[in-house]
């Protein structure tokens, strides 16, 4: 809450599974509360789907739901999607960001 109250804008990264989409609804309610009570100028830059696995039908449905529900509400859903990859876990284990650990990996490029 403090971070949202202090920032001018927020970029939301959300996994494309069901539970993450439910959590997104709670986050958006929190953002609306911050906008109404503390920081009316807080902007949502958009939503980026992440941990996407094209082999899992449910992930495709989650991504489709993001793209259908939020643009009519005035919330941009970026076309870039960050796919699931073991490189993210490897980078975390080395204490490096993925853009430093595997700069030319598709996942690192998607973040950039």
Each residue's pLDDT tens digit in the chain (112 positions)?
Answer: 888 889 999 999 999 998 999 999 999 999 999 999 999 999 999 999 998 888 889 889 999 999 999 999 999 999 989 888 788 788 889 998 888 888 888 877 877 7
The answer to whether residue 21 sits within a structural domain is yes
User: What order of strands is seen across the sheet that includes strand 9-15?
Assistant: 9-15, 43-52, 77-83
Note whether residue 107 is domain-resident: no
CA atoms within 13 A on the CB side of 32: 8
Q: What is the predicted pLDDT for the residue at 29? A: 94
For residue 70, what are the domain limits?
Answer: 2-85
Report the pLDDT value the prediction gives residue 84, as an integer from 0 to 100.
Answer: 83
CA 62 – CA 68 distance, rounded (Å) = 10
Residue 49 corresponds to which tokens in the numbers above?
A: 């789907």
Q: What is the pLDDT of residue 87?
A: 81
The 10 Å CB-count burial string (b at 16+, else e) for 44-62 is bebbbbbbbeeeeeebeeb
Would you state the pLDDT for residue 32? 94
Decide if 92 is inside a domain.
Answer: no
For the record, the structure tokens of 91 come out as 């980078």
Q: Is residue 68 part of a domain?
A: yes
Measured in residues, the chain has a length of 112
CA-CA distance, 69 to 16, in Å (whole number)?
Answer: 13
Q: What is the pLDDT of residue 70?
A: 93
DSSP string, 25-39: HHHHHHHHHHHHHT-
At residue 16's C-alpha, the angle toward residues 110 and 64, to 5°, is: 95
- Does the residue 99 lie in any domain? no
Position 72 in a domain: yes
Within a domain: 102: no
Residue 101 within a domain: no
Q: How many domains does the chain have?
A: 1
pTM confidence score: 0.83
């Amino acid at each position: 809450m403090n971070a949202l109250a202090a920032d001018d804008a927020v970029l939301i990264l959300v996994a494309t599974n069901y539970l993450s989409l439910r959590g997104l609804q709670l986050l958006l309610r929190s953002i609306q509360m911050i906008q109404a009570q503390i920081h009316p100028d807080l902007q949502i830059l958009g939503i980026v789907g992440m941990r996407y696995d094209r082999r899992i039908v449910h992930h495709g449905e989650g991504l489709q739901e993001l793209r259908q529900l939020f643009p009519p509400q005035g919330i941009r859903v970026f076309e870039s999607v960050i796919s699931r990859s073991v490189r993210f876990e490897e980078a975390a284990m080395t204490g490096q960001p993925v853009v430093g650990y595997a700069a030319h990996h598709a996942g690192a490029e998607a973040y950039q």
